[in-house]
Amino acid sequence: MAVEGHEERFPAARPNGRCRIQKRSVAADDWRRRLLSQVLSVAWDAKERRRERQRRANLAEQSRRDNIITSLQRLWTQRYVAAFTVAMTDEELAGFYSERQITFFNQELEKMGLTWRYPFERVE
């Protein structure tokens, strides 16, 4: 006989062959597995969202830098080519940046107080 509020030490088997304690622990184990699965899923989703946010921020920064370099290229053209102080080389005419343009870009970036230099690492 069990004392009030306590389980019997060896409960009798039910008609299906299982005792109450085993059924309860199996249900608790299932609940723990579902909870662990849900927690891991939430953690994984948070990690993926953080990674996507970082990727979007990197692309936005890259776009901002591209716009700065494009405006510096226009400035270089106005300052030197339009003033007839230099002629554009074939690579510059083809849209590639020459060494003298890159030097100009980096000098202007330094004057602007920016810490990055051209060419900068691209993010895909």
| Cβ atoms within 10 Å of 104's Cβ, excluding its own | 19
Distance, CA of 44 to CA of 40 (rounded, Å): 6
Q: Is the pTM of this model over 0.75?
A: no
Distance, CA of 46 to CA of 51 (rounded, Å): 9
Enter the tokens of residue 80.
């030197």
Average pLDDT over residues 91-114: 92
For residue 74, what are the domain limits?
20-112
* CB burial of residue 76 (10 Å; 0-12, 13-18, 19+): buried
Is 81 part of a structural domain of the chain?
A: yes
Distance, CA of 70 to CA of 52 (rounded, Å): 27
Average pLDDT over residues 10-19: 58
Please give the tally of structural domains in the chain.
1
Average pLDDT over residues 111-118: 93
Is 118 part of a structural domain of the chain?
A: no
Is 120 part of a structural domain of the chain?
A: no
For the cut 70, the answer to whether the pLDDT of residue 60 exceeds it is yes
